[in-house]
Chain A
Amino acid sequence: KNQVEQSPQSLIILEGKNCTLQCNYTVSPFSNLRWYKQDTGRGPVSLTIMTFSENTKSNGRYTATLDADTKQSSLHITASQLSDSASYICVVSAIGNAGNMLTFGGGTRLMVKP
């Protein structure tokens, strides 16, 4: 069964600090991996997307890495801001189903404190 596991479940950091969120997946055959940011009470919004051939993708202070061999991804947030407080969701798509079936991780809830 396709699965996406994220760690830690929750994280508290001080404003200005860096942090790294982890994602392990067993989705096969792999197509692409995305990271979404979900603010409280809102829908998820895409941060990055990586295909099999990409191992790093940046979006401002967010940098995602992908190791397709070990089936791991990480999301690194640099110089955190209060507005980074949100849930971060790792989503993996398998080849087939025309991309209609995504496997979602349970998310990491990040709180940035002043």
Chain B
Amino acid sequence: NAGVTQTPKFQVLKTGQSMTLQCAQDMNHNSMYWYRQDPGMGLRLIYYSASEGTTDKGEVPNGYNVSRLNKREFSLRLESAAPSQTSVYFCASRTRFLTPAYEQYFGPGTRLTVT
């Protein structure tokens, strides 16, 4: 089991460029999440997908779009990157079952710099 995988690990973009961050999980989890982590701040939820075919906005969705391609894959797209989107992006997933209390499993992260 690879768990949650993310590609790429690092990316540098120029302002205005677009890109898609990929996430896949092999744990047969129903729900998947995208977070961003900025220095000194807690992780903030961008979008989530409670189940295949559904997506919902989180706390900071502006400037992002998502696609739940199938049960395994959940991608995050930046249509026109801005310096404010420089951050570390984490994908997470969890089972729909209560144990252990909706625990989320995180990927290794993508470090994105927008110049």
1/0 contact string of B7-50 vs chain A (CB within 8 Å): 00000000000000000000000010100000011111100101
In the complex, chain A residues whose CB is within 8 Å of the CB of B41: 106
Chain B interface residue count, Cβ-Cβ cutoff 8 angstroms: 26
Count how many chain A residues have C-beta atoms less than 8 Å from C-beta atoms of the other chain: 25
Pick from B31, B48, B103: contact of A34, CB below 8 A. Answer: B103
Given contacts A32-B101, A51-B101, contact A104 B106 (CB under 8 A): no
**Beta-carbon contact of B109 and A43 below 8 Å:** yes
Query: Distance (Å) between the CB of B60 and the closest chain A CB?
Result: 12
Nearest CB on A from B23, distance (A): 11
- B101–A43 touching, CB < 8 Å: no
B107 touches A99 (CB 8 A): no
A1-38 residues with Cβ-Cβ distance < 8 A to B are 4, 9, 31-32, 34
Cross-chain pairs A/B with CB under 8 angstroms, 15 sampled: A34-B101, A41-B109, A43-B4, A43-B106, A44-B90, A46-B105, A49-B101, A49-B103, A89-B43, A98-B50, A100-B31, A100-B33, A100-B56, A106-B40, A106-B42
